[in-house]
Chains A and B, each alone.
Chain A
Amino acid sequence: MRYIYIFLLFTISLPCFSQNPFDNQITDIEPVEFIITYSMKYQEDSLNPNFKPQEDMVLFLGKKISKYMSYNFYIGDSMVRKVSSFEEFEKLTTDLKNPLPFVKFQIELFKNYPIGKLTCLDHIIGGSFKYEEEMDLFKWQLKNDTTSIMGYKVQKATCKFGGRNWIAWFCPDLPYNDGPYKFHGLPGLIVKVNDTRFHYLFEMTSIKKPGHELKIDITDRSYIETTKQGFFKAQDAFRNDIISRAKDAGFNSEEQQAMARRMAQKNNPIELK
């Protein structure tokens, strides 16, 4: 029973993998020139400053387009892509000896794709979502502070975004106008960015050239096309309606309550509005 429970928990945490991933066509967009990794520390529960999990995030830089996602999601997605039948997929998801990585963040952000737009793909149990935003999201203010981070000369810039005040450190010597999450638009790669309350902190941990040919690609799922507000609405509904959703997924009442309690502690999204 314990294993079935883990299995259920697992599939519920991997919704995007669970809908016949091998049915999906993958479109290559452009070659990856650099791979930047960031370490993201975040306060999951706005009431508990002592619990700050860490997650590795990756930014794939192409000539014109970039893709941002969590490292685990990238690894898990790569494993799932090798699968070509449902049996193999079932085997992959139920193989307790060699399980898929635990994916907490399933967001994929494409900057300047299509041109001038930011495309966001995300998943909530029960659906894959897609929304676009304009690229000029950030009204950066340059500050006079400069410092050196990991040997890179960086300058400070601030902005308001998603209901938080952000401080970014960018490096003009790395002439990519990109950064973690949706952050971009400074004349140099964002090496570090955090909100003023330190609920979210991104720090660059590596710059690498891809070891072999690697493409920025997008998976063609049947996405629910919506707006950012539509997606946030779906997210809120999922959070608040977790008990009935858990019940639908076959969890017993004790497990439903436990999931609701866990969900209540995940109350601090990066964008508050």
Chain B
Amino acid sequence: MGLLELKIIKFVLIFLSVSFIGQNISGQALIKGSLSDIKGEGLSDINIMIYPTNRTILVAYAVSDSVGHFQVSVKIESDSLDIETNSMQYRRERIRVANISQMVKFTLIPDIKQLETFTVKATPIEKRGDTISYLVSSFAGKEDRAIVDVLRRMPGIEVEPNGRILYQGLPLQKFYVEGLDLMDGRYGVVSNNLPHCSVSAVEILENHQPVRILEDRTSTIQSSLNLKLKRDVTTTGTANVGVGLSPTLWDANITPMIFTKDFQVVTSYQTNNTGKDESQQLKVFTLDDLLKDADHPVENPEMLTIQTVNPPGINQNLYLDNNVHLLNFNGLLRLNRDFQLRSNLYYINDNQKAKATQQRTLYTPTDTLIFTENINNYLHNNYLLSEFTLSRNVKKNYLSNSLKIQTRWDKREGVLLNGNESIEQSLKSPLQSISNELQSVNPVGKYLVDFQSYISYDNSPHSLEVTPGQFELVLNQETPFEKVTQQIDLKRFYADHAASLVFSWKKLNFTPRLGITYRRQMLESHILLTRHEEETSAGTDFSNALDGSQTRVYTQTEVEYRKSSFTIKAKLPLSWQHVQLSDQDLKRGQTLCRVLFDPKLSVNYQMNGFWRVNSSWSFTHSLGDMDKAHYGYILRNYRVLNQNAASLSETSRHSFSSYLSYRNPITSFFNTFSYIYAISHDNLMYSSIVQDDGTTVLQSFLLPNTSLSHNLHGQTSKYFAATKTTISFQANVSQRNRKSLMNEELFNTKNLFYNFVPGANVRITSWLNAEYELNASYIRTFIENDRKNNISMIKHKVNVFAFPTNNQLISFKSEYYDYKGSNNIFVDMLYRYTVKKRKIDLELRWNNIFNSKNYTSYEASAFTVWESTYVLRPSQLFVSVKFSF
């Protein structure tokens, strides 16, 4: 296009042709038209707006179509109209035409508009930098008690039912009181209990990065919250008190707290005898910690036990007969030079009684042995955990060092009736352990290097006394004796050091990790026999002086390939391990050196949103735990004498799993199906020599063997909207095959487990729902393909939940089963009433209404079946109230 043409266009900028179509008689005019640019190309998505002349109120409009045409009908009483075009890319044009049906044509010239950027002005809350400050007094209402009630009213802040606080929809990163982070994420204790009248302002720290070295490197969109207190010293708290019958029951919890600018304390005392296990509070801190600890040696080795029964799969407060006291102290102190010291202390005193009957059936190709034990155990647990964390969080680096000291003085006593013989067991299992964990983030060139160190040392001098003495055949030339004592002293040292670096290349992120662990342990043990009130050693075969060490160097690499709905992943961990064991007294030992490669491959495929298929294969090698190897005998419990004198166990395992699911949320039809097959090769075989009285000598032998397992799981459910009912069905089938060695017979064992669970869930009204479930399980044991048993158990469960009003809850839970011809029924009832204004919860609980005495469950392994009958807590009525002060 030449210059001249452009000039001409300037003059005919708005060339419009008006063609006469017809008189506007009906008062409705149909205006058709077209829009084009100067090249004559039709323009789409242009607004055509019709105004009465000289007015700004739009009466009709149209948008041009893909070729630039439009059509709009106008119904106003007026002689003429203004037609205006408007769009982002072209200049606005306005023409006046008669109010009659007609054709119009626009030629538009480009003109990119600049929209002015704007943001709504900040609300009149004080805002400086990245901090917003809310005055508590201007938001607090009459009914509010705790600071959390006021937080709810503040704009931008939301509190979820579980107590989590969100700011602008995002969870808080840190919850500070006077700039100190006392509770480390468990801030609910503070926010729910701190009265709002002691807080002067709530500060929101926007885009707050708590690890300061990362401040300029990674941006966060999350905020943290800081509470400014009115007074220099604030003391407050909460309480929960409950009582019940019978016998006398209590459940109390009192949580006082103190806050100052440089020193903060939250303490708690909790006690109950209602079957609530307070020690659970200590067990899990964060998921992160759980994953990290996976490779560390078990915290409490528990090499010796008194005979117990595994807990049944029912609600703990039905059977746990306890009397527990928990003291918890959390303190934080601000030190010089940006250091902070936090200490978290827990003390637990827990006394438990457990009563159960266990019937153990052992099968061999030629024989069936049945032993019955009546178990009466008394557990006295004393546990002190102290954790001290020193941290420094500045721009240059991040450092956090946490020292953990644990002390246990556990005592367990058991009186056991084995047939007619009464056996007393007494175990003292103290533990001292100290561990130190250090994490630091430091810049090295362009990258940040994350260094982690974990060092631990523990000592467990345990002793088990059994009266009268057992294993007289092995220990005392077939002569009965008064008492056998097993003494163990285990000292362990463990160190794990690892460094990882984070860097990116193209679209991939790499986190290479290199680490080294070293473990050293000393095991000393002796068996002592008491004969005629005289204690003598059982001899060198029954003692250990084992010195063990293990070194492991590891790296990890991951590879991933994906193409649309296909993903193939491979994990390739490589490690070098060196294990050395030597027993000076027995003059035995071994050295093992291995390079282990444990590949894992998985394939994932997804199809049209409904179908999903996953398959994976892994080949893993594992070396046995050093805690389990010893050349001399150890009396593990009153009836197991154990020697693992063969080499360290080495297991290699192929595992194949596949998963198929069809899930249709539109028809509410969900199905999943999975199959896992595993084959393991083990170099060791465990031999059990079971004597007439049930005592067992357990030894390991070098005898390579293979075991197989198949697991099938299927699940289906369908929701029927018409009846507001969900019908579901679950099935589990598993089979295990292995070789077993018992009483010098080597034989094949096969275990079959079936479990079928049909169920229904009905929503009767919006405030009432009920569910029913049937649980049928079957156990079968085959010895050399000969079926030895056929156990079946069918249980029915019915639960009803009702919410008559918003602050009331009523629930009934019941379970019924028939066991050896007698009916067993368990019913629990709960009523909860919340006084909303005063934030008081009242609760009435009636457990085990029909006062059922026992609960029975089954377990099976290779050639053994356990039938355990637990003595339950009696029928109990319990009332509790929760409030704050």
Residues of A within 8 A of B (CB): 1-7, 9, 19-20, 22-23, 25, 33-34, 53-56, 64, 71-72, 75, 82-88, 94-99, 101-104, 115, 124, 126-129, 142, 144, 146, 150-151, 153, 155, 172, 174-177, 185-188, 205-209, 220-226, 230-231, 233-234, 236-238, 240-241, 243-244, 247-248, 253, 257-258, 260-262, 264
Q: Which of A220, A230, A244 makes the CB contact (< 8 A) with B719? A: A244
Q: Which of B58, B173, B607 makes the CB contact (< 8 A) with A222? A: B607
Residue-by-residue, is B664-680 near A (CB-CB < 8 Å gives 1, otherwise 0)? 11101010000000000
Chain B nearest Cβ from A119, distance in angstroms: 15
Q: Say whether A85 contacts B801, CB under 8 Å.
A: no
Q: Say whether B115 contacts A207, CB under 8 Å.
A: yes
A90 closest partner in B (C-beta): B291
Residue-by-residue, is B545-578 near A (CB-CB < 8 Å gives 1, otherwise 0)? 0000000000000101010110101000000000
Residue-by-residue, is B733-772 near A (CB-CB < 8 Å gives 1, otherwise 0)? 0000000000000000000000000000101001001010
A150 vs B116: C-alpha distance when bound (angstroms): 12
Stretch in contact with the other chain, from B5-13, B132-140, B282-290, B421-429: B282-290
Q: Which residues of B contact A101 (CB under 8 A)?
A: 169-171, 221-222
Within 8 A of A (CB), among B33-65: 45, 47-49, 56-61, 63
B57 closest partner in A (C-beta): A144
Chain A nearest Cβ from B674, distance in angstroms: 14
Interface assignment of B210: CB less than 8 Å from any CB of chain A:
yes
Q: A4-B287, A243-B771 are in contact. Are A248 and B717 (CB under 8 A)?
A: yes
Q: Say whether B609 contacts A127, CB under 8 Å.
A: yes
Q: A102-B166, A208-B119, A222-B607 are in contact. Are A237 and B717 (CB under 8 A)?
A: no
A247 closest partner in B (C-beta): B761
A103 vs B162: C-alpha distance when bound (angstroms): 16
Q: Say whether B663 contacts A206, CB under 8 Å.
A: no
Q: A85-B560, A220-B564 are in contact. Are A150 and B59 (CB under 8 A)?
A: no
Q: Say whether B284 contacts A4, CB under 8 Å.
A: yes
Q: Which residues of B contact A82 (CB under 8 A)?
A: 509
Q: Which residues of A contact B562 (CB under 8 A)?
A: 22-23
Interface assignment of B395: CB less than 8 Å from any CB of chain A:
no
Interface assignment of B360: CB less than 8 Å from any CB of chain A:
no
Q: Say whether A84 contacts B560, CB under 8 Å.
A: yes
Interface centre among A54, A172, A176, A226 (most CB of B within 10 A): A172
Question: Could you list 25 A-B pairs, sorted by A, with CB under 8 Å?
Answer: A20-B604, A22-B562, A23-B562, A23-B606, A83-B509, A84-B560, A85-B560, A96-B185, A99-B222, A101-B222, A126-B663, A126-B670, A142-B58, A142-B60, A206-B119, A207-B116, A224-B608, A224-B666, A225-B609, A237-B666, A238-B665, A241-B726, A243-B726, A244-B719, A247-B761
Q: A53-B158, A84-B508 are in contact. Are A187 and B286 (CB under 8 A)?
A: no
Q: Say whether A244 contacts B170, CB under 8 Å.
A: no
A32 vs B562: C-alpha distance when bound (angstroms): 28
A209 vs B116: C-alpha distance when bound (angstroms): 9
A185 vs B222: C-alpha distance when bound (angstroms): 36
Q: Which residues of B contact A248 (CB under 8 A)?
A: 670, 717
Q: A9-B162, A98-B220, A233-B666 are in contact. Are A240 and B117 (CB under 8 A)?
A: no
Q: Which residues of A contact B88 (CB under 8 A)?
A: 33, 175-176
Q: Which residues of B contact A187 (CB under 8 A)?
A: 47-49, 58, 61, 63, 86
Q: Which of B86, B164, B210, B285 makes the CB contact (< 8 A) with A6? A: B164
Chain A nearest Cβ from B208, distance in angstroms: 11
Residues of B within 8 A of A (CB): 45, 47-49, 56-61, 63, 66, 86-88, 113, 115-120, 155, 158, 161-162, 164, 166, 168-171, 173, 185-186, 210, 220-222, 280, 283-288, 291, 507-509, 511, 558, 560, 562, 564-565, 567, 569, 604, 606-610, 663-666, 668, 670, 717, 719, 721, 724, 726, 728, 761, 763, 766, 769, 771, 799, 801, 803, 809, 811, 813
A261 vs B508: C-alpha distance when bound (angstroms): 43
Chain B nearest Cβ from A213, distance in angstroms: 17
Q: Which residues of B contact A150 (CB under 8 A)?
A: 118, 120
Q: Which residues of B contact A96 (CB under 8 A)?
A: 185, 286-288
Which 9 A-B residue pairs are closest in the complex by CB-CB distance?
A: A224-B609, A187-B47, A244-B726, A241-B719, A237-B668, A187-B61, A206-B119, A234-B665, A101-B170
Q: Which residues of A contact B48 (CB under 8 A)?
A: 187
Q: Say whether B726 contacts A3, CB under 8 Å.
A: no
Chain A nearest Cβ from B616, distance in angstroms: 12
Q: Which residues of B contact A224 (CB under 8 A)?
A: 608-610, 664-666
A101 closest partner in B (C-beta): B170
Q: Which residues of B contact A262 (CB under 8 A)?
A: 161
Q: Which residues of A contact B811 (CB under 8 A)?
A: 253, 257
Chain A nearest Cβ from B738, distance in angstroms: 31
B90 closest partner in A (C-beta): A175
Q: Say whether A75 contacts B221, CB under 8 Å.
A: yes
A4 vs B565: C-alpha distance when bound (angstroms): 30
A146 closest partner in B (C-beta): B57
Q: Say whether B169 contacts A104, CB under 8 Å.
A: yes
Q: Which residues of A contact B168 (CB under 8 A)?
A: 56
Chain A nearest Cβ from B421, distance in angstroms: 41
Knowing that A94-B291, A244-B761 touch, tell me 20 more A-B residue pairs with CB under 8 angstroms. A1-B284, A4-B284, A22-B562, A72-B169, A72-B170, A75-B170, A101-B222, A115-B66, A126-B663, A150-B120, A185-B63, A206-B120, A222-B608, A223-B609, A234-B668, A237-B666, A240-B719, A243-B771, A244-B719, A247-B761
Q: Say whether B118 contacts A206, CB under 8 Å.
A: yes
Q: Say whether A177 contacts B63, CB under 8 Å.
A: yes
B767 closest partner in A (C-beta): A264
Chain A nearest Cβ from B93, distance in angstroms: 13
Chain A nearest Cβ from B291, distance in angstroms: 8
Q: Which residues of A contact B721 (CB under 8 A)?
A: 236-237, 240
A149 vs B828: C-alpha distance when bound (angstroms): 60
Q: Say whether B761 contacts A25, CB under 8 Å.
A: no
A233 vs B721: C-alpha distance when bound (angstroms): 10
B558 closest partner in A (C-beta): A85
Q: Which residues of A contact B726 (CB under 8 A)?
A: 241, 243-244
Q: Which residues of B contact A220 (CB under 8 A)?
A: 564
A240 vs B799: C-alpha distance when bound (angstroms): 18
Q: Say whether B567 contacts A20, CB under 8 Å.
A: yes
Q: A127-B609, A244-B726 are in contact. Are A1 and B57 (CB under 8 A)?
A: no
A16 vs B538: C-alpha distance when bound (angstroms): 65
Q: Which residues of B contact A88 (CB under 8 A)?
A: 509, 511
Q: Say whether A1 contacts B280, CB under 8 Å.
A: yes
A213 vs B726: C-alpha distance when bound (angstroms): 49
Q: Say whether B608 contacts A3, CB under 8 Å.
A: no
Chain A nearest Cβ from B290, distance in angstroms: 9
Q: Say whether A230 contacts B666, CB under 8 Å.
A: yes
Q: Which residues of A contact B49 (CB under 8 A)?
A: 172, 187
Q: Which residues of B contact A99 (CB under 8 A)?
A: 171, 222
Q: Which of A5, A25, A175, A206 makes the CB contact (< 8 A) with B162? A: A5
Q: Which residues of A contact B761 (CB under 8 A)?
A: 241, 243-244, 247
Q: Which residues of A contact B717 (CB under 8 A)?
A: 244, 248
Q: Which residues of B contact A257 (CB under 8 A)?
A: 769, 801, 809, 811
Q: Which residues of A contact B803 (CB under 8 A)?
A: 261
Q: A96-B185, A240-B763, A258-B161 are in contact. Are A175 and B666 (CB under 8 A)?
A: no
A262 vs B724: C-alpha distance when bound (angstroms): 18
Q: Say whether A226 contacts B666, CB under 8 Å.
A: yes
A220 vs B168: C-alpha distance when bound (angstroms): 28
Chain B nearest Cβ from A260, distance in angstroms: 7
Chain B nearest Cβ from A130, distance in angstroms: 8
A5 vs B48: C-alpha distance when bound (angstroms): 56
B60 closest partner in A (C-beta): A142
Q: Say whether B606 contacts A222, CB under 8 Å.
A: yes
A203 vs B164: C-alpha distance when bound (angstroms): 28
B47 closest partner in A (C-beta): A187
Q: Say whether A240 contacts B724, CB under 8 Å.
A: yes
A244 vs B283: C-alpha distance when bound (angstroms): 29
Q: Say whether B221 contacts A155, CB under 8 Å.
A: no
Q: Which residues of B contact A54 (CB under 8 A)?
A: 155
